[in-house]
Structure 1
Amino acid sequence: MIRRLQALPAAVFLLCLFFLTACATDNKKASWDQDKPTFTQSIHDIQSEQQRLADFNRLQAAEVASLTTRMDALEALNQEYQLQQAQIQALSAQIEGLQRKQARKPRSSSAHTPSPAHTRVTTVKKHPAQPVAAAPVDVAPPPQPVVDTAAQADAEKNAYTAAYLALKSGRYDEAANGFNKQLDLYPKGEYSDQAWYWLGETRLAQNDGAKALNAFKYVVDHYPSSVKHAAALFKMAQISVDNKQPARAIEYYKRLIQEHADSDMAEQARAALNALEHPATESGQ
């Protein structure tokens, strides 16, 4: 009897635990049923926000692409504007030079108009004409035209700038015509050496190696003190390599190193010369 009484509390405890577990399960089920709509709405809201962000990112990408296209167009217009300004300045300088020359010319009409004192007629008694020895007449040389060197320098600079901008913009035919015209008008101008060099670069861009070589050679032969002298020698060596003439290329590289030993171009020439004189073998030795 005593043992039964001692076992009774344990049985009651297990029974209570069963009921409590059942109640907890029922409470969890009831809680999920209540919270399920809230969770579903939250997931839907998150998905909607993600879709909105994706649409916003696509819109931003489209706007960036549009702005990039507009910036490229504005850059092209700016380059075109600079070229037109350079051409206008060149023409204005030429017109001003012509106007100055015209203003300095003497007026022939006023120089030969007789004064009223010289137009009076007087009666002079005639005497027998005596032979008079002709006196030597000093004929003054014709006046030399006055050259406006400042206007000429400005016009040359503007012509050079216009051709250079055309080259950098990829308008190679226009650049070649511009440099050739500049060299025709100002063969000994301040920018003639650079015009010859950039004409060579223009010919290279046009895949005309022969004309490019002639332009660079003109710089080397006629402008030994030019800032483009070393670069022209280097270009001649590169063209010789392309033409399968390594001996001639080595000659140009060595001349560049000798005449411009401390220049950056000399460093490049030494590296190129070493590659020509010591070509790598197939085994890598």
Structure 2
Amino acid sequence: MPKTFPTGLALILAAALSGCAMPGPQSPAAISAQDISRLEQRQQLLDAELSSLRGEFAELQAQMRSQQAQLQALGGRPGTEIDTRAGQITAHVQPIAPPTPPRAVAPAPSSATDTYLRAFSDYASGRYSQAIAGFERFLESFPDNEYAANAQFWIGECYYAQQDYEQAAAEFLKMAERHAQSGRTPDALFQAASAYQKLGREGQARQIIDLLRQRYPQSAAAQRNLEL
């Protein structure tokens, strides 16, 4: 009785007898350039993903260090811990009583320099009334400041610019009386004489010019001419 073979096996034998080889796995030489390109692209994607994961890990480490620093700042309160498992950062802190609201603190007064510079900015911008108020505030708050003489001089200049020559002369003379050693005093005397000249009071103007040249003969103001 002839032997029978399973269908699959019979097909294999038939193929062998007919001289046809069964297809086997592709050899490395059979991989196409397109396959290699796809593999390279996939490798690049994997490298990029790995680089991103490394960046995320570094960021998690930085966050963990920040959390640890915050917990140390709390004074190592009992019950404070950090869980870093699987890259997760969580902080478990015991409840802390809300801080007491700080008491209202009065704003610190402006410094002498700030007050002076604000007033001078007003003068330079032509806001003479504001400048006068600022310089007077400066002199009231800081009468012994090194810029006190200058502040008094600029008050005179503000009134002079407003053509209030009477008040300007008074402010310049006040400056010359209180700050005789200031380098601006000769200019203050000259401006006082100029203000009196504007008022038509040439006698007073001449007296001040004579005083200027007597006390400060080497000053630039003493060399200036005032038509009297």
Return the TM-score normalized by structure 1: 0.41
In the alignment, is residue 223 of structure 1 matched against residue 184 of structure 2? Answer: no
- Equivalences, count: 122
Equivalent position SS for 1:170: coil
Distance 2:128 2:195 in 1: 19
The Cα of 1:212 is off from its aligned counterpart by: 1.3
In the alignment, is residue 210 of structure 1 matched against residue 159 of structure 2? Answer: no
Letter aligned with residue 168 of structure 2: A
Distance 1:174 1:249 in 2: 29
The Cα of 1:246 is off from its aligned counterpart by: 1.2
The Cα of 1:181 is off from its aligned counterpart by: 0.8
Task: State the superposition RMSD in angstroms.
Answer: 1.7
Distance 1:166 1:258 in 2: 35
Please point out which of 108, 127, 130 is paired with 1:174: 130
5+ long unaligned stretches in structure 1? 1-93, 99-153, 277-285
Equivalent position SS for 1:188: coil
Please point out which of 187, 200, 208 is paired with 2:143: 187
Distance 1:236 1:211 in 2: 10
Equivalent position SS for 1:261: coil
The Cα of 1:203 is off from its aligned counterpart by: 1.1
The Cα of 1:208 is off from its aligned counterpart by: 1.7
The Cα of 1:188 is off from its aligned counterpart by: 2.2
Distance 2:222 2:160 in 1: 22
The Cα of 1:175 is off from its aligned counterpart by: 0.8
Letter aligned with residue 203 of structure 1: Y
CA contact (8 A) 2:128 2:162 kept: yes
Letter aligned with residue 264 of structure 1: A
CA contact (8 A) 2:128 2:158 kept: yes
Equivalent position SS for 2:111: helix
In the alignment, is residue 158 of structure 1 matched against residue 143 of structure 2? Answer: no
Distance 2:156 2:188 in 1: 9
In the alignment, is residue 198 of structure 1 matched against residue 129 of structure 2? Answer: no
Distance 2:162 2:203 in 1: 26
What is aligned with 1:141? none
What is aligned with 2:223? 267
4+ residue stretches of structure 1 with deviation over 2 A?
none
Query: Equivalent residues in 2 for 1:71-150 (5 A)?
Result: 95=108
5+ long unaligned stretches in structure 2? 1-106
What is aligned with 1:130? none
The Cα of 1:173 is off from its aligned counterpart by: 1.8
What is aligned with 2:199? 243
Distance 1:211 1:247 in 2: 18
Distance 1:243 1:173 in 2: 21
Q: Between the two proteins, what is the percent identity of the paired residues?
A: 27
The Cα of 1:171 is off from its aligned counterpart by: 1.3
